[in-house]
């Protein structure tokens, strides 16, 4: 059975950091190890062969990133979260702002972006919201932009949508083409997709709401702390941050600048600059 | 004289189970000695999209409150943990949990192999692994990891299991130290408890 020790994992993240502009040195060890082992298994590479390939063929880095980052997601994951978005959070933002901005940080293949756009459309405010969706992986961003998914995923997505109690018919949002569900591009009218790395990237805008669900679980606490600082700076005062239902930020230095709005769905509000 | 020849070097107990394991887990938790000294880390197959109810159902008769840890939560002695719905649950060096939304393994998330494998990595020979009734092969590799790292391996007696695929797969995959009925697993845990008194 394949295995890899921590020293080799460190060699890999150091090499990537030196040679490419990515920094995995503060990723959570257990999942980083599984991801690297997965790549070694998929590509039939030993540790030394992997290091050599990363050194010698720069084109390999995109393939590597694509497998390293976790791109498993679903539309309307945690339907209760989306109901609270619709019934509490978005209305609260709208009390003070007619137009507002949302950042999907680590958007992966775009399922959450589509969920948000469907929800905003059903709320009748689709045109009032600007969305920016970012990911560090260029390949996955292309997939997100294409908004095309295997039709077999739609059963789960539709179940979630029904439990979210969407007001439309889920099937109306996509067309079936050759085994795929191709989502209506109008949903993305106010969305801009761009490459951005949460770890090394600069701040680029200010937002009323940031969604970053199940992304920071792949970071260690040092990195979570740094990223929370970035989110804090990227939020307007009284802006909201949503993380995954089993994530927590209570140990971060910046946690005291937020209050918990909903503990079940891990929605926080920035209350201090 | 100790029936299972135990000592007080163990630091954690990890339990995996799937179809047909619920009753066994309830029995184990309800008969656990008060103040059981080790953390019990459980990964049980469960409905992916039902977040609430399971931990409550397990807690009704349990001696100790069962909790679904948050990512990065520290592991405490004497607590019982359950892998949350739709997340894999690993242990991280440094004694905390790490959750992940990676691909399903053995058609499961949470996958028992991930929890068992990471516990084996962290606790090495200081771990007791228990695998109960279940309908697929998840957990067999994890039990092998536990054995290979020097930990103690227990499976539920296949004839007692509602579905015996899981313990049988583990028996085929690695050396299992004890094949026990649930009542005997309870006895085992009581004896383990005594080592720390």
- pLDDT tens for A196-228 read 999 999 999 999 999 999 999 999 999 999 999
pLDDT score for B167: 98
- Determine, for residues A247 and B70 on separate chains, whether the beta-carbon distance falls below 8 Å: yes
- A74, part of any domain: no
* Sign of the CA dihedral with B143 first, then B147, B149, and B150 last: positive
The mean pLDDT value for B154-169 works out to 97
CATH code of B12-194, in short, is 3.40.50.180
pLDDT score for B154: 98
Q: Helices (H) and strands (E) in chain A — how many of each?
A: 10, 10
Confidence band (pLDDT; 50, 70, 90) for B52?
confident
Same domain, yes or no: A61 and A89: no
* pLDDT tens-digit readout, A229-259: 999 999 999 999 999 999 998 889 999 999 9
Residues in chain A whose Cβ is within 8 Å of chain B: 28-31, 34-35, 70, 72-73, 77-78, 80, 156, 159-160, 163, 214, 217-218, 221, 224, 244-248, 251
Same domain, yes or no: A119 and A199: yes
pLDDT score for A4: 94
Same domain, yes or no: A127 and A241: yes
Same domain, yes or no: A57 and A92: no
* pLDDT tens-digit readout, A167-185: 999 999 999 999 999 999 9
pLDDT score for B160: 97
Helix (H) / strand (E) containing B13: strand B12-17
pLDDT score for B135: 94
C-alpha distances in Å from residue A117, one per residue of A24, A120, A141:
31, 5, 17
Exposure string of A58-83, with b = 16+ CB inside 10 Å and e = fewer, is eeebeebbebbbbbebbbbbbbbbbb
Same domain, yes or no: A195 and A257: yes
Same domain, yes or no: A11 and A131: no
With a cut of 50, say whether residue B27 has pLDDT above it: yes
What is the pLDDT of chain A when averaged over all its residues?
96
* pLDDT tens-digit readout, A80-116: 999 999 999 999 999 999 999 999 999 999 999 999 9
**At residue B127, what are phi and psi to the nearest 5 degrees?**
-125, 140
Domain that holds residue A14: 6-68
C-alpha distances in Å from residue A185, one per residue of A130, A143, A206, A215, B59:
15, 13, 25, 25, 47
Same domain, yes or no: A49 and A85: no
- DSSP code of residue B177: S
Strand spans (E) along A137-247: 148-150, 174-177, 180-183, 191-195, 207-212, 235-243
**Residue pointed to by tokens 């080799």:** A8
What is the pLDDT of chain B when averaged over all its residues?
95
With a cut of 60, say whether residue B117 has pLDDT above it: yes
**What's the CA gap between A243 and B63, in Å, rounded?**
32
Considering only CB atoms, which chain A residues are within 8 Å of B100? Answer: 30-31, 34, 70, 217-218
Check: complex ipTM more than 0.90: yes
- A225, part of any domain: yes
Residue partners of A233: CB distance under 8 A and separation at least 6 = A203
- A146, part of any domain: yes
In chain B, where the domains are located: 12-194
With a cut of 70, say whether residue B2 has pLDDT above it: no
Residue partners of A209: CB distance under 8 A and separation at least 6 = A89, A90, A93, A100, A101, A102, A103, A239, A240, A241, A242
**What's the CA gap between A130 and A145, in Å, rounded?**
16
Same domain, yes or no: A131 and A39: no
Residue partners of B166: CB distance under 8 A and separation at least 6 = B16, B17, B18, B131, B132, B133, B134, B135, B136, B137, B138, B139, B140
Q: pLDDT exceeding 70 applies to what percent of chain A? A: 100
Same domain, yes or no: A58 and A185: no
Same domain, yes or no: A147 and A116: yes
CATH number, domain containing residue A176: 3.40.50.150
The mean pLDDT value for B25-44 works out to 97
Confidence band (pLDDT; 50, 70, 90) for A156?
very high
- Count the domains in chain A: 2
**What's the CA gap between A202 and A234, in Å, rounded?**
10
Q: Which two tokens stand for residue B2?
A: 């100790």
| Cα–Cα nearest to B139, from B107, B162, B161 | B107
Q: Which residues of B are known catalytic residues?
A: 18, 45, 138
* pLDDT tens-digit readout, A28-61: 999 999 999 999 999 999 999 999 999 999 999 9
Count how many pairs of residues, chain A against chain B, have C-beta atoms within 8 Å: 63
Helix/strand/coil for B37: coil
- A73, part of any domain: no
The mean pLDDT value for A20-28 works out to 95
Same domain, yes or no: A62 and A140: no
**What's the CA gap between B180 and B167, in Å, rounded?**
11
- A88, part of any domain: yes
Confidence band (pLDDT; 50, 70, 90) for B1?
very low
Around Cβ B147, how many Cβ atoms within 10 Å?
Answer: 19
Considering only CB atoms, which chain B residues are within 8 Å of A217? Answer: 71, 98-101
With a cut of 80, say whether residue A1 has pLDDT above it: no
Q: Are B14 and B115 in contact (CB under 8 A)?
A: yes
Q: Which of A28, A72, A78 sits opposite B92 (nearest CB)?
A: A28
Considering only CB atoms, which chain A residues are within 8 Å of B98? Answer: 28-31, 217
- Determine, for residues B98 and A248 on separate chains, whether the beta-carbon distance falls below 8 Å: no
Helix/strand/coil for A135: strand
Report the chain B residue with the minimal C-alpha distance to residue A160: B49
Same domain, yes or no: A22 and A151: no
């Amino acid at each position: 059975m394949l295995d890899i020790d921590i020293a080799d994992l460190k060699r890999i993240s150091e090499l990537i950091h030196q040679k490419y502009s990515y920094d995995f040195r503060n990723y959570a060890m257990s999942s980083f190890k599984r991801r690297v082992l997965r790549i070694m298994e998929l590509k039939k590479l030993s540790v030394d062969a992997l290091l050599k390939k990363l050194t010698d063929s720069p084109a390999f880095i995109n393939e590597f990133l694509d497998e390293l980052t976790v791109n498993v997601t679903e539309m309307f994951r945690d339907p209760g979260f989306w109901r609270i978005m619709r019934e509490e959070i978005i209305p609260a933002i709208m009390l003070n702002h007619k137009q507002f901005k949302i950042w999907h940080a680590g958007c992966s293949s775009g399922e959450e972006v589509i969920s948000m756009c469907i929800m905003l459309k059903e709320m009748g405010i689709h045109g009032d919201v600007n969305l920016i969706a970012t990911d560090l992986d260029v390949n996955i961003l292309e997939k997100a932009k294409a908004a095309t998914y295997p039709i077999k995923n739609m059963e789960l997505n539709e179940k979630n949508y029904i439990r979210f109690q969407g007001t439309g018919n889920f099937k109306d949002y996509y067309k079936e083409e050759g085994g795929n569900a191709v989502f209506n591009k109008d949903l993305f009218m106010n969305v801009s997709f761009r490459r951005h790395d949460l770890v090394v990237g600069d701040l680029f805008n200010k937002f009323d709401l940031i969604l970053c669900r199940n992304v920071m679980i792949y970071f260690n606490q040092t990195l979570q702390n740094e990223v929370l600082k970035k989110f804090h700076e990227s939020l307007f005062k009284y802006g909201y941050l949503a993380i995954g239902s089993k994530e927590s930020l209570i140990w971060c230095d910046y946690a005291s600048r937020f209050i918990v709005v909903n503990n079940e769905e891990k929605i926080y509000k920035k209350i201090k600059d | 004289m100790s029936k299972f020849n135990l000592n007080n070097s163990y630091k954690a107990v990890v339990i995996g189970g799937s179809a047909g394991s619920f009753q066994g887990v309830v029995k184990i938790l309800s008969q656990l000695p008060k103040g059981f000294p080790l953390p019990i880390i459980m990964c049980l197959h469960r409905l992916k999209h039902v977040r609430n109810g399971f931990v409550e159902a397990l807690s009704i008769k349990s001696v100790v409150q069962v909790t679904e840890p948050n990512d990065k939560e520290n592991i405490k002695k004497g607590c019982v943990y359950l892998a949350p719905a739709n997340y894999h649950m690993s242990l991280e060096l440094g004694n905390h949990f790490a959750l992940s939304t990676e691909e399903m393994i053995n058609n499961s998330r949470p996958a028992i192999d991930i929890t068992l494998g990471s516990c084996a990595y962290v606790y090495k020979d200081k771990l007791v692994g228990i695998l109960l009734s279940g309908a697929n092969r998840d957990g067999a590799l994890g039990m092998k990891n536990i054995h290979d790292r020097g930990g103690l391996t227990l499976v539920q007696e296949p004839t007692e299991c509602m579905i015996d695929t899981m313990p049988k797969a583990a028996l085929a995959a690695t050396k299992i130290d004890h094949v026990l009925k649930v009542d005997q697993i309870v006895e085992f845990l009581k004896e383990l408890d005594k080592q720390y008194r």
